[in-house]
A and B are shown apart, each in its own frame.
Chain A
Amino acid sequence: MLLLAGTTISVFGQEVKEKTESEGKFDASTFILDHIADSHEWHILTKKNGDNVEIYLPVILYSKEKGLDIFSSKKLADGNEYKGYKIEEEGDLQGKIVSVNKEGTVDEKNLPLDLSMTKAVIGMLSAAIIGLLLFLSLSRSYRKSGISHPKGIQSFLEPVILFVRDDIAIPNLGHKYEKYMPYLLTAFFFILINNLMGLIPFPPPFGANVTGNIAVTFVMATCTFLITQFSGNKTYWKHIFAAPGVPFWLLPIMIPVEIIGLFSKPFALMIRLFANITAGHIIVLSLICLIFIFNSLSIAPVSILFVIFMDFLELLVAFLQAYIFTLLSALFISMAVQENH
């Protein structure tokens, strides 16, 4: 953990120093938001002469007129234009790839469909690969040695899997739990691995803010939503469209209310994960930025201590958020499949 905090400081330190020198005044909020946001390139450090060392990620664009385009984001670096596309630098579309007209103006109505491999996508794919490697080796070791006392990677993963089964799935779903175990386990480990990878600042693919990206949490919440709706039984739908005990003249009001209620639960799920992880990243980055705001070395020890403390707290939050997301998914599914109240 100490090493982790140390690398955080050194990596961000280099960037921040340059910014301070070149612009005279250090702008903490832009710096922090740049680090939290998704981007087409992976910034590593800024050299003393102001050059950036970056990994340029592939850009994949589709638009009706121009068709499919695949190129490196290096072509778009520093506000350059390539094949009629550029990265917008200000306004509502800041950071997004827009198409440029022949007159040189931005065509705001015909935005290209951006399917690029951005920072978050790379982070997410790496998390998926790490998860796959972990669990494939786990299953291989079970196949080899059978179910005996756990050893090696088993002794780490087996308790976690059993925890998801015994403390999340069975108490909520009862005897129907087996059907939903694959989803619950996938959600749990996907969120956990991504949270933990986001805490490690260096090198790429670590340090991307994947679970703090609202698009990612939106898709995860949508998965929970769809599974809940598709596993809903007769009682569940009856409670929505003809709740027992509700007079018929109230139904025109109650049905929309119940339908809004359906969407609000995964919405809360989406916001919670996003907000918790983003807040954690912002706090850690702000604490580091303190050094450069005060521009003094005496702040550094205090700041580092706080960062280490926050990193420990984030470690807890990483597990807690994975747990809460899975638990609530199980709870929502259980509400849809339970026989009677």
Chain B
Amino acid sequence: MPEQETSKKKSQKNLQNKGIRDFARYSGLAFQMIGIILITVWGGVKLDKLTGWNTPVFTIVLSLLGVFAAIYTAIKDFIK
């Protein structure tokens, strides 16, 4: 009986820890998404300045890629 109780306590503790772990993981999700989009857009704007083309190709492509990447990594983190 006492063994069962300790294992029960352990599993409870594990559940609790999992909750905290998940909280810690997902609490950074917003920053992560914002970070990805900011970095890609910034990179796009920089590249467009470097090339000096009339149409901001890199800004458009990289910002779209950034939004896609942000959603993709968020979903991937959720599945894991």
Contacts and interface: CB of A to CB of B under 8 A. Distances in A.
B50 interface: no
B63 interface: no
Contacts of A327: 20-21, 24
Nearest to A341: B80
B31 interface: yes
B66 A171 contact: no
Given A167-B17, A256-B65, A261 B27 contact: no
Contact of A272 (B17, B31, B33, B68): B31
Contacts of B27: 272, 324
Interface string A234-268: 00000000000000000001001100110111011
Contacts of B68: 253, 257
Q: Could you tell me the dominant secondary structure of chain A's interface residues? A: helix
A100 B53 CA distance: 36
Q: Could you tell me the dominant secondary structure of chain B's interface residues? A: helix
B19 interface: no
B65 A253 contact: yes
A233 to B, nearest CB: 17
Nearest to B79: A341
A238 B25 CA distance: 23
A128 interface: no
A271 B30 CA distance: 11
A294 to B, nearest CB: 35
Nearest to A259: B69
A328 B39 contact: no
Contacts of B29: 268
A145 B35 CA distance: 50
Given A253-B65, A260-B39, A261-B73, A331 B25 contact: yes
B23 to A, nearest CB: 9
A171 B33 CA distance: 26
Contacts of B20: 327
A324 B31 CA distance: 15
A253 B68 CA distance: 10
B28 interface: yes
B17 A269 contact: no
Given A256-B65, A263-B39, A328 B32 contact: no
B32 A257 contact: no
Interface string B10-47: 00001001001100110111011101100110000000
B78 interface: no
Contacts of B69: 256-257, 260-261, 264
Contact of A260 (B17, B28, B31, B40): B40
B24 A268 contact: no
Given A253-B65, A257-B65, A257-B68, A267 B21 contact: no
Interface string A174-210: 0000000000000000000000000000000000000
Given A264-B33, A267-B35, A331-B25, 16 more contacts: A167-B17, A171-B14, A171-B17, A260-B36, A260-B40, A261-B73, A263-B39, A264-B35, A264-B70, A267-B32, A268-B31, A324-B27, A327-B21, A327-B24, A331-B21, A331-B24
The 3 A-B residue pairs whose C-beta atoms are closest, nearest first, are A268-B28, A268-B31, A267-B35
Interface of B: 14, 17, 20-21, 24-25, 27-29, 31-33, 35-36, 39-40, 65-66, 68-70, 72-73, 76, 80
